[in-house]
Amino acid sequence: MSETRANLLLLLAAALWGLGNVAQKTVLAHLDALSAVGLRCLIGGLLVLPFVLKERRLPAGPGYFASLTKVGALFAISITLQQLCYLGATVTNASFLVSTATVMTPLAAWLLIGERPTANLAVAAGLTVLGALLLSGGIDGLGGGDLTAVLSAACYALWMVELGRHMRAHPRPFTASATQFLGAAAVALPLGALQGKLSPAAVVAAGPELAVLGVFSTAIAFGIQTAAQRFTTASHAAVIVSAESVFGALAAAIFLGERSSPAAALGAAIILGAILSVATNGTRARAPLAGPVPFGAAPGFAVAPALQASDRPATNSGSVERRDDPCH
């Protein structure tokens, strides 16, 4: 797959997430947040599971299970926090605040693999914080849902870095997707059942929202990102999928009638400006390339960032694989 095709697929995923944000809000009229997460992930996992058999013979590489566990845990935490934020945040606010992962991802890459952010990124991060405050009505206006959305963005940033590193070393996208979805379902569903709102009647009532979330926002959108991040950098992917905020705001205005104040609109514009700045001017300084990054390498180690897919072909068990391989 070429990098251009991967980026276009990520944009499609962003559209599916943005439109699905309305369903994330309305599903809470029938189910608690944990049950909603568990059921959407269960649907997504079952849809992806049949394709896992095709990847059984693909080489996994050293540290495979530890890497997959870390990616799965970060995914479960991120998607649960995102669903919880809708308990106290509007669809518009949640969409834009979760998109702050755009500038958090390069910072996470710096902490995890020693990639120093550029001055442009530092300015973009500051502008994003300012925009988020305006969007939410200032410090006094930040509610629990808004703060949960920001925390979800931070977890998504860590997840994208680890997902990019995992897919570089272990090219099994369907296995990674199924593990993430079913793992999150296995954790969220029992906890949701304990809250007492999970019942057959509630599941039937939430059927339309669960279909949208399970099929489009989970199986297809997250499946696309898992596969596409093998062919682009995590920071680049974060910039592209941040378009979710635009699609989410549009969907909220069309389907829920949400309207923003002038200050909130200014905050959203500042966030979008920061995102565009990161996209057009780069996110980090380039580092000399060496070998593959050992899983769990400490920050500052002189190893090649596994996320810099644009600089070299992916390697796997000593073989070289072309980035434009039509089989992918």
Burial class (CB in 10 A: 0-12, 13-18, 19+), 323: middle
Over residues 99-120, the mean pLDDT reads: 79
pLDDT at 119: 78
Give the CA radius of gyration of the chain: 19
The model's pTM: 0.75
Q: What rounded mean pLDDT belongs to the chain? A: 79
Q: Angle of helix 144-169 relative to helix 101-113, nearest 10 degrees?
A: 50
Task: For residue 20, give Cα distances in angstroms to 43, 69, 83, 170.
Answer: 15, 27, 11, 29
Over residues 119-139, the mean pLDDT reads: 74
Check residue 198 and report its DSSP letter: -
**Tens-place pLDDT, residues 10-39:** 889 989 998 998 999 999 999 999 999 999
Asked whether the beta carbons of 41 and 143 are under 8 A apart, the reply is no
Phi, psi dihedrals of residue 68, rounded to the nearest 5°: -65, -40
pLDDT at 158: 94
pLDDT at residue 298 greater than cutoff 80: no
> Which residues are bridge partners to 181 per DSSP?
none
Q: What percent of the chain has pLDDT over 70?
A: 81
pLDDT grade for 267, boundaries at 50, 70 and 90: confident
Check residue 284 and report its DSSP letter: B
Cα–Cα distance between 322 and 27 in angstroms, integer? 43
Report which secondary-structure segment, H or E, holds 314.
strand 314-316
pLDDT at residue 269 greater than cutoff 80: yes
Structure tokens at 124: 């973009």
pLDDT at residue 40 greater than cutoff 70: yes
pLDDT at 223: 92
pLDDT at 253: 82
pLDDT at 59: 77
Task: For residue 148, give Cα distances in angstroms to 1, 94, 97, 144, 253.
Answer: 35, 9, 9, 6, 22
pLDDT at residue 317 greater than cutoff 50: no
For residue 219, how many other CB atoms are within 10 A of its CB? Answer: 23
Kindly compute the dihedral angle of the four CA atoms of residues 182, 19, 260, 266, in this order, to the nearest 10 degrees.
90
Over residues 217-234, the mean pLDDT reads: 89
Cα–Cα distance between 198 and 190 in angstroms, integer? 10
E-only strand ranges, the chain: 314-316, 319-321
pLDDT at 35: 95
pLDDT at 241: 84
pLDDT at residue 199 greater than cutoff 80: yes
Cα–Cα distance between 75 and 3 in angstroms, integer? 24
Residue 196, Ramachandran bin (φ over 0: left; ψ between -120 and 50: alpha; else beta): left
pLDDT grade for 136, boundaries at 50, 70 and 90: low
Sequence letter at residue 136: S
For residue 52, how many other CB atoms are within 10 A of its CB? Answer: 17
pLDDT at residue 44 greater than cutoff 90: yes
Cα–Cα distance between 46 and 170 in angstroms, integer? 21
pLDDT at 187: 93
pLDDT at 291: 34
Cα–Cα distance between 146 and 143 in angstroms, integer? 5
pLDDT at 195: 79
pLDDT at residue 168 greater than cutoff 80: yes
Phi, psi dihedrals of residue 89, rounded to the nearest 5°: -125, 150
Cα–Cα distance between 104 and 151 in angstroms, integer? 11
Cα–Cα distance between 173 and 220 in angstroms, integer? 12
For residue 292, how many other CB atoms are within 10 A of its CB? Answer: 18
pLDDT at 319: 39
